Chain A
Amino acid sequence: MNDLLDPLLLSRWQFGLTTVYHFIFVPLTIGMAVTVAGFQTAWVRTGKLHYLQLTRFFGKIFLINFAMGVVTGIVQEFQFGMNWSTYSRFVGDVFGAPLALEGLLAFFLEATFIGLWIFGWDKLAPKLHLATIWIVALGTVLSAYFIIAANAFMQNPVAFRINEERGRAELTNIWELLTNKVALAAFPHTILACFMVSAAVIITAAAWHLARGQHVEAMRPALKVGAWSMLISGGATMLAGDQLSLAMVETQPMKMAAAEAMYNTASGADASFSIFTLGTPDGVHELFSIRIPYLLSFLSTHTFDGTVEGINDLQAQYTQLYGPGDYSPVIWVTYWAFRWMIGLGLASMLVAAAGLWFTRKGREPKRWMWRVAVWAVPMPFLAMTMGWVFTEMGRQPWIVFSLLKTEDAVSPNTTGLDVLISLVAFTVVYGALLVVEFGLLKKTIKAGPDPIEMSPPDDDGVQKPAAPATTVY
């Protein structure tokens, strides 16, 4: 009973649940904003109707998803204060600034221009209307930067001093905070992965219709766009991930050791990367594994004879530095999350490459291939989730690395019952909305792009596509 009502444990579950949930929608919002802006640009520049169809079709998907990202985001901002008030008091001077900048610079842009885009089709000139969706896209990307910079402070605290009297961290240099090396590496990795998510949705939608021979004129080019953006952003995500690994080894070596479940320091060929391991359930003992020698050394140091510190050595170091305690995260979580992230990302790219190969020069792939392609959609979503689980769980036991432990950060006055109520409420509401959202997305994808209605011919007999309804809701 005591455990069930432990506010710390419940708050951690709630933060994990609401963050993972929020981050189902955010990557799709970011990726889709750019996708829709891209198709609309193609429409404005070429005047080819199928680009307008794709703009409106993916625009619908974008909007169904957008609202969920917005409303679940408010929860994230409130939760720092509601459940983690000790954390908020400790870091507010540093951590609050990027959040406030995010609101002022990014959220207002997004929230204002999304309204102009949805309702402005017949009120704004085509180029101005096109600009609104690009501004929305810019807002989404900017907001990602600020929140990743805030998160980077938790991974690798920089630009602060500790004020003993006030018992808090204080900002010393905003520029240094915003150019935290972890932020600089994590931002491209995350943003590029967002484009993998939107690419997967494009591929799925295109595969669904092409398998049935519907909307071929629009969906053939859509498939190409989806597959190429998956391959390009996937490759770039890997390169950026490599940079992030280097920053991680430097700033949080324990996380890299935990990613590999490597207990003893190793160098050269012994610093191998295991693709698959069977071990005892706690991950401490290994029964069987497939290993690539040198790879971990290369990932960690970009040399083949580098040394990678193991969990045991780091634990000893940290005990000396920070006092007695367990300084390793839950190893099986980090180990498997890291592998699933990479594996699912690679599998998504494989589907895209296969799609391009089997449709080359107008070829028709076999039906089962379309079916596989339709199921490509969860993979980058899951890969992204695994990436966040890895980076956040890999930071434990710290909430701010080396400064504050998660167990010391929770609100002291919030009762277990309060948090249980909120956890259950969020789980129920989020669960129900996920079912609705998924149903609507499926329905929209299956319905396919609407035909474009043409306005009556003008004096010169030219017909233009009619603007969609301005009273959208």
Chain B
Amino acid sequence: MDLTILWFWIIAALFVGYFVLDGFDFGVGMTIPFLGRDETDRRMLINTIGPVWDLNETWLIVAGASLFAAFPEWYATLFSGFYLPLLLILLALIIRGVSFEYRHQRPEASWKRRFDLMIIVGSAVPAFLWGVAFANIIQGVPLDAGHNFTGTLFTLLNPYGILGGLTTLVLFFTHGAVFASLKTEGDIRERARRLASRAGLVAIIVAATFLVWTVVAHFSVPVLILAAIAALSLISSWFANSRGLEGRAFALMAVTVAAAVLTLFTALFPAVMPASNDPANSLTIANASSTEYTLTVMSWTALIFLPLILAYQGWTYWVFRKRITRKHIEAAAH
């Protein structure tokens, strides 16, 4: 197989990893106002993602760096073109990341409230904006002959882009609520399950609209199949959640997110940044990629290290597999 095509799919896989993993911890962050009735509840929620949020977020750093290395033109066009949305994502990730570490450093309720708010906002903003960004990549944006984005922020806030943002927002919210019910014990577990059920209905409606729109606009059999997998697993997840099968519901949500991301990448292929104004200005796998030598080096590195990375990250999830109870939190009162 051509290495450039391989790397298109590795980039897709890295974003699948990022959205499946950081997706649920964005979701947990967003559920705080709904599930966190008291300080113990809120700490339970934050502790469900405590050991893993950083490794989840690192998938983004690796995806970004790999994009830079494998498709410098794609990286340059995307990051300079989507300047302000990416700025907002960065600021959100900054305040969210430090809040996990700072929140528990002082006992005052006002201190904790401030960082709770930063976690909630810092989770919701990227959950929405990543959807906007990816929907716009697929839909195409105006590019000049040098592949530079010529639109503005408002170019990106079109109906399909906003629908994409709402889709990731509600999908991640549901994903997080399901994760919270899987990782906690006591009444919060039940409340999380009910919240996931309500959010799941919204997610089904919004995501189905977005997927149908995507399939119609970029019809091909693989796109249709992947979109169907995403839709069916989302619905199955809702039923599994209703029956209290939390593990299955969570796994199906992960499949939903993965299939939705793959739907978008399949719809994109073989372009990487289609130009909406003039197809001649589009960036494709062929004109955006690095040299075969660079891709060969990267392929060997990925081949050796990705299995190792998956192994130690899987082990981490296994080490922290236990549910968190109120007793755990109260025993560790700050």
Q: Are B91 and A413 in contact (CB under 8 A)?
A: no
B201 CB, nearest partner CB in chain A, Å: 31
B200 CB, nearest partner CB in chain A, Å: 27
Q: Identify the closest chain A residue to B81 (Cβ).
A: A413
Q: Are A421 and B87 in contact (CB under 8 A)?
A: yes
Interface SS, B side: helix
User: Which B residues, 57 to 73, have Cβ-Cβ distances below 8 Å to chain A?
Assistant: 57-58, 60-62, 64-66, 68-73
The docked-state distance in angstroms from the alpha carbon of A443 to that of B77 is 44
Q: Identify the closest chain B residue to A417 (Cβ).
A: B84
The docked-state distance in angstroms from the alpha carbon of A350 to that of B269 is 61
B298 interface residue per 8 A CB criterion: yes
Contact with B along A64-75 (1 / 0, CB 8 A): 101110111111
Q: Are A74 and B319 in contact (CB under 8 A)?
A: no
Given contacts A108-B313, A471-B329, contact A99 B68 (CB under 8 A): yes
User: Which A residues, 101 to 158, have Cβ-Cβ distances below 8 Å to chain B?
Assistant: 101-105, 107-116, 118-120, 123-124
B307 CB, nearest partner CB in chain A, Å: 11
Q: Are B83 and A71 in contact (CB under 8 A)?
A: no
Q: Identify the closest chain A residue to B60 (Cβ).
A: A74
The docked-state distance in angstroms from the alpha carbon of A116 to that of B47 is 13
Q: Are B294 and A96 in contact (CB under 8 A)?
A: yes
Contact with B along A444-473 (1 / 0, CB 8 A): 100000000000000000000000011111
Given contacts A111-B58, A171-B297, A425-B87, contact A67 B97 (CB under 8 A): yes
Q: Are A107 and B46 in contact (CB under 8 A)?
A: no
Q: Are A85 and B77 in contact (CB under 8 A)?
A: yes
Tell which of A68, A71, A110 has the most Cβ of chain B within 10 Å. A71
**Other-chain residue from B44, B50, B103, B309 in contact with A108 (beta carbon distance below 8 A):** B309
The docked-state distance in angstroms from the alpha carbon of A418 to that of B95 is 21
The docked-state distance in angstroms from the alpha carbon of A377 to that of B84 is 37
The segment out of B146-154, B163-171, B249-257 that lies at the interface is B146-154
Q: Are B62 and A114 in contact (CB under 8 A)?
A: no
Q: Identify the closest chain A residue to B97 (Cβ).
A: A71
When distances are taken between beta carbons in the complex, the residues of chain A under 8 Å from B225 are none
The segment out of A86-94, A188-196, A333-341, A399-407 that lies at the interface is A86-94
When distances are taken between beta carbons in the complex, the residues of chain A under 8 Å from B70 are 96, 100
**Which size bracket describes the interface of A in this complex?**
35 or more
Q: Are B68 and A171 in contact (CB under 8 A)?
A: no
Q: Are B150 and A118 in contact (CB under 8 A)?
A: no
A242 interface residue per 8 A CB criterion: no
When distances are taken between beta carbons in the complex, the residues of chain B under 8 Å from A330 are none
Q: Are A81 and B319 in contact (CB under 8 A)?
A: no
Q: Are B101 and A74 in contact (CB under 8 A)?
A: no
When distances are taken between beta carbons in the complex, the residues of chain A under 8 Å from B47 are 471-473
A279 interface residue per 8 A CB criterion: no
Given A92-B75, A118-B50; 19 other pairs, CB 8 A cutoff: A72-B94, A75-B90, A75-B94, A78-B79, A85-B77, A92-B76, A93-B290, A96-B68, A97-B298, A100-B69, A104-B302, A107-B61, A107-B62, A124-B319, A422-B83, A429-B91, A469-B331, A471-B47, A473-B50
26 sampled A-B residue pairs with Cβ under 8 A:
A70-B54, A71-B94, A74-B93, A81-B79, A83-B80, A85-B80, A88-B79, A91-B72, A93-B294, A96-B69, A96-B75, A100-B298, A100-B301, A104-B305, A115-B316, A124-B319, A171-B297, A413-B144, A436-B102, A443-B106, A444-B105, A472-B47, A473-B43, A473-B46, A473-B100, A473-B103
